[in-house]
């Protein structure tokens, strides 16, 4: 990784620790809950950002992938399989060690897929769907691509609303906690759950996941792949002419961003111990696009900062009933006045000046 | 399926199909003069219905509808002037995001003005249970209103584009913008006009359909996707084909009810959209070669 990036990552780590200490000192630890969720949403935003900013492909269906991740892992870890234990598929899952026995609060036996296995299945499914969808969809451009991804998101939303397995309009609740790491020696286990005593651990897990995702993406865009992607954004024909496999790269990034979104969906579902259909709504997808746009299409750090901070404000309810309207205004404002992101407003004025000087 | 039921479904399909066709024509008008897909098209339909419903206690129904169409046209013009007119050669991605933003904004404003309640205009003739019979098929008179409005609109538009100077200027813009400017046509005004025209069409559609489908602050989104499906199905920019495609989608949807649960009805239109986009993105009536020349 470039030295500049390492420094930035380090200062981000420092900032994360500082914020936690600050909440501890000021006794405002309740902020940690929203900060944790913001970090997960930030993961979706940076994943989508690489697709939009670097590969130049818009997707208005990323809430769909987020929901696939969240809903699949919620359904798999919640629905009792004891009644269908003789089903060959369930037996197969049992043999590979994907199932776990537990007791619910009434003392009844529960046979469910274990969270790690469910997580892998959910993320894998999202990646696979992205692959199957991406190959034909990414041949489309501009309006067609926007509408196709919007259509995909809407289908997922409708299916979730109409399928009893996914809880229809109620969504899925009582999702168990997710033990990422079992207790090692004297170290306590690392568990994703909304439990108050685990707030600090979860905060660090969420930001850890976000930072790892950020490092992966930063490395990706500095690599040969990243250069290929940027060439694709500026001119697809030219990129193809110099031998870049444009179709392959586009699909690859699409799948990658879907996997990011699905991971965020899985973690946040375990953290909130539930998920509802609103997570799959078109408005959520549009919101991710807005966050990418406001951060700056080719500025991963900008996306991270704006994505996390705006999501945090929104989760804190700062915008009240104007929540969606705020994101609409942001979307229009950014695209009209600062198409390269808010953090590049300066650029806008500088180029304006140049233009008038000429 | 009995013959009666078949015709009942068929007419339901034609009614919805006409509505989709009108929305699709709205897309096409703006697309033709600007190359923009206006993602806020569905919101114009919602606004038309809502404004007419609000005005109804004050003025008689035809006046309320006329006013609603006028006001929505004005809104369309304002939107174009505020958000689109002054941009210099914006990229497609930027325009998509701006029009999506506009649609959210309009929807949220509607939510704050009219709330979440579901409203509707009264039936233009009779009421919910008034029917007339064609053979053994029972139809609501509103169905005829919808179909008649759609037909008049399509006929009026083709006359407008063929024979009036303004219509010709708009067509010139879509054929070749540079050449149109050289001929002294103010392309910017034409773009504003196209936004007004498609806002007005949308609003009228919103009024005639309101008694059947009801109007709510977020009823535009679903219509926008369906209308776009129809516009693509017919081939972007081709209004006559949009009518055929609209009727086709409406009928497919109506008959799908007898096969799959109602909840999946929307999914059908969208699946159809995806399939068309993958297989024949220039539409079933469009030409692939012409589509390739256009800039997306």
- Contact between chains at B232 and A147 (C-beta distance less than 8 A): yes
- Pick from A162, A286, A290: which is nearest to B263 by CB? A162
Spatial distance between the Cα atoms of A302 and A127, rounded to a whole number of angstroms = 26
**A344 pLDDT more than 70:** no
Q: Taking a contact as any Cβ pair under 8 Å apart, which residues of chain B between 188 and 227 contact chain A?
A: 221, 225
Question: How remote is the C-alpha of A314 from its chain's centroid?
Answer: 16
Q: Which two tokens stand for residue A270?
A: 């375990």
Number of domains in chain A: 1
Residue B115 has, within 13 A of its CA and on its CB side, a CA count of 4
Tell me the CA distances in angstroms from B271 to A148, A198, B253, one per residue in order. Answer: 9, 43, 12
Q: Which domain holds residue A329?
A: 3-357
> How much is the mean pLDDT over chain A?
83
Q: Nearest residue on chain A to B278, judged by CA atoms? A: A136
What kind and span of H or E run contains A82?
Answer: none
CA distance A51 to A298: 10
Closest CA to B102 of B193, B27, B39: B39
d(CA B230, CA B242): 6
State the smallest CA–CA distance between residue A39 and chain B in angstroms. Answer: 24
What gap in Å lies between CA A233 and CA B91, rounded to an integer? Answer: 12
A140 contact residues in B (CB cutoff 8 A): 277, 281
Amino acid B80: pLDDT: 92
Q: Which residues of B touch A155 (CB under 8 A)?
A: 267, 270-271
Contacts with B274 from chain A: Cβ below 8 Å: 137, 148, 151-152
Closest listed residue to residue B51, CA positions, set B217, B221, B196: B217
Cβ atoms of A177 and A191 within 8 Å: the answer is yes
Contact call for B97 and A335, based on CB within 8 A: yes
Nearest CB among A139, A148, A286 relative to B100 is that of A286
- Global ipTM: 0.79
The Cβ of residue A208 has, within 10 Å, a number of other Cβ atoms equal to: 15
User: H or E stretch including A108?
Assistant: none
Separation of alpha carbons B155 and B141, rounded Å? 21
Closest-CA distance, A143 to chain B, in angstroms, reads: 7
Work out the minimum CA distance from B119 to partner chain A, whole angstroms: 21
Nearest chain A alpha carbon to B36: A143
Q: Which residues of A touch B280 (CB under 8 A)?
A: none
Check CB contact under 8 Å for A332 and B83. Answer: yes
- Minimum Cα–Cα distance from A138: chain B residue: B278
Please name every residue paired with B138 in a beta bridge, in sequence order, or none if there are none.
Answer: B133
pLDDT, residue A358, reads: 46
Collapsed DSSP state (helix, strand, coil) of residue B121: coil
Q: Which residues, in sequence order, are bridge partners of residue A113?
A: A99
What is residue B90's three-state secondary structure? coil
How far apart are the C-alpha atoms of A103 and A96, rounded to whole Å? Answer: 21
Domain CATH number, residue A216: 1.10.3470
Chain A interface includes B293 (CB < 8 A): no
d(CA B44, CA B158): 21
Beta-carbon pairs below 8 A across chains A and B: 115
Is the Cβ–Cβ distance between B215 and B49 less than 8 Å? yes
Q: Which ranges of chain A does DSSP label H, i.e. alpha helix?
A: 3-26, 31-49, 62-78, 88-95, 115-137, 142-162, 199-222, 224-234, 236-241, 246-272, 282-295, 300-315, 323-337, 345-357
Half-sphere exposure of B67 (CA within 13 A, CB side): 14
Cβ A141 vs Cβ A246: under 8 Å: no
Residue A349 confidence class, pLDDT cut points 50, 70, 90: low
The answer to whether B4 and B138 have CB atoms below 8 angstroms apart is no
Q: How far is A244 from chain B (nearest CA, A)?
A: 21
CB contact under 8 A, A150 and B267: no
* A331 with B274: Cβ contact below 8 A: no
Pick the CATH number of B3-122+134-293 from 3.30.1450, 1.10.3470, 2.10.25, 1.10.10: 1.10.3470
More confident residue, A350 or A320: A320
Report how far residue A275's alpha carbon sits from residue A166's, in angstroms, rounded to the nearest whole number.
10
Give residue for tokens 């940076």: A46
B266 to chain A, any CB pair closer than 8 A? The answer is yes
Sole residue written with tokens 């850890």: A208
What pLDDT score does B296 carry? 40
The pLDDT score that the predictor gives to residue B203 is: 93
Please state the three-class secondary structure of B32-56 as a single string. Answer: HHHCCCCCCHHHHHHHHHHHHHHHC
pLDDT in tens, chain B (296 residues): 677 888 888 888 898 899 899 889 988 888 888 778 888 899 999 999 999 999 999 999 999 999 999 999 999 999 999 988 888 777 777 888 888 889 989 999 999 999 888 888 888 877 777 777 777 777 888 888 888 988 898 888 888 888 999 888 888 887 788 888 888 888 888 889 999 999 999 999 899 888 888 888 888 888 888 888 888 888 877 778 888 989 999 998 888 887 777 767 777 777 887 788 777 767 776 655 555 444 44
Contact A147 B266 (CB under 8 A): no
Going by C-alpha positions, the residue among B125, B93, B101, B161 that lies closest to residue A233 is B93
Chain A positions touching B273 (Cβ under 8 A) are: 147-148, 151
């Amino acid at each position: 990784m470039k030295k500049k990036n390492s420094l930035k990552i380090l200062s981000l780590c420092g900032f994360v620790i500082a914020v936690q200490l600050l909440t501890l000192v000021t006794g405002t630890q309740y902020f940690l809950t929203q900060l944790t969720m913001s970090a997960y949403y930030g993961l979706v935003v940076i994943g989508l950002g690489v697709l939009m900013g670097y590969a130049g492909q818009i997707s208005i269906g990323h809430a769909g992938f987020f929901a696939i991740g969240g809903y699949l892992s919620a359904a798999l870890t919640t629905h009792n399989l004891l009644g269908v234990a003789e089903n060959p598929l369930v037996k197969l899952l049992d043999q590979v060690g994907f199932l776990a026995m537990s007791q619910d609060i009434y003392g009844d036996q529960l046979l469910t897929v274990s969270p790690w296995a469910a997580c892998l299945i959910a993320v894998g499914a999202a990646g696979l769907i992205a692959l199957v969808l991406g190959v034909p969809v990414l041949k489309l451009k501009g309006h067609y691509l926007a509408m196709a991804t919007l259509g995909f998101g809407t289908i997922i939303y409708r299916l979730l609303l109409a399928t009893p397995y996914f809880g229809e309009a109620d969504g899925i609740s009582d999702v168990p906690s997710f033990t990422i790491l079992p207790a090692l020696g004297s170290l306590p286990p690392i568990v994703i759950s909304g439990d108050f005593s685990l707030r600090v651990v979860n905060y660090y897990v969420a930001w850890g996941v976000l930072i790892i995702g950020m490092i992966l993406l930063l490395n990706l865009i500095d690599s040969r792949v990243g250069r290929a992607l940027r060439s694709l954004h500026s001119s697809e024909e030219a990129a193809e002419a110099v031998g870049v496999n444009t179709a392959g790269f586009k699909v690859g990034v699409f799948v990658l961003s879907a996997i990011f979104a699905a991971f965020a969906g899985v973690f946040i579902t375990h953290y909130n111990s539930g998920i509802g259909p609103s997570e799959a709504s078109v408005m959520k997808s549009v919101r991710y696009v807005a966050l990418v746009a406001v951060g700056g299409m080719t500025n991963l750090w900008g996306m991270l900062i704006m994505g996390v901070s705006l999501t945090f404000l929104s989760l804190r309810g700062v915008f009240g009933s104007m929540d969606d309207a705020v994101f609409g205004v942001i979307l229009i404002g950014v695209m009209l006045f600062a198409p390269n992101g808010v953090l590049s407003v300066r650029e806008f004025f500088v180029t304006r000046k140049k233009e008038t000087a000429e | 399926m009995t013959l009666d039921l078949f015709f009942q479904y068929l007419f339901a399909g034609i009614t919805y199909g006409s509505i989709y066709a009108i929305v699709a024509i709205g897309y096409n008008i703006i697309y033709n003069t600007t190359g923009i897909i206006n993602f806020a098209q569905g919101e114009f339909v919602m606004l038309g219905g809502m404004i007419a419903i609000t005005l109804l206690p004050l003025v008689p129904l035809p006046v309320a509808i006329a006013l609603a169409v006028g006001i929505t046209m004005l809104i369309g013009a304002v939107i174009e002037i505020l958000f689109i007119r002054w941009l210099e050669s914006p990229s497609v991605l930027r325009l998509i995001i701006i029009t999506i933003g506009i649609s959210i904004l309009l929807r949220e404003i509607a939510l704050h003005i009219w709330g979440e309640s579901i409203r509707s205009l009264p039936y233009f003739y009779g009421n919910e249970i008034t029917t007339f019979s064609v053979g053994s098929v029972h139809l609501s008179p509103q169905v005829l209103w919808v179909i008649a409005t759609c037909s008049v609109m399509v006929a009026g538009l083709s006359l407008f584009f063929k024979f009036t100077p303004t219509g010709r200027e708009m067509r010139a813009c879509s054929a070749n913008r540079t050449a149109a400017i050289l001929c002294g046509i103010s392309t910017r005004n034409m773009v504003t006009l196209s936004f007004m025209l498609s806002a007005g069409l949308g609003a009228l559609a919103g009024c005639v359909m309101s008694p059947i489908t009801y109007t709510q602050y977020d009823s535009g989104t679903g219509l926008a996707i369906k209308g776009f499906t129809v516009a693509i199905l017919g081939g972007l920019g081709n209004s006559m084909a949009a009518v055929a495609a609209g009727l086709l989608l409406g009928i497919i949807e109506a008959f799908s009810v007898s096969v799959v649960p109602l909840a999946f009805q929307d999914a059908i239109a969208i699946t159809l959209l995806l399939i068309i986009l993958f297989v024949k993105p220039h539409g079933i009536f469009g030409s692939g070669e012409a589509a390739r020349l256009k800039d997306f």
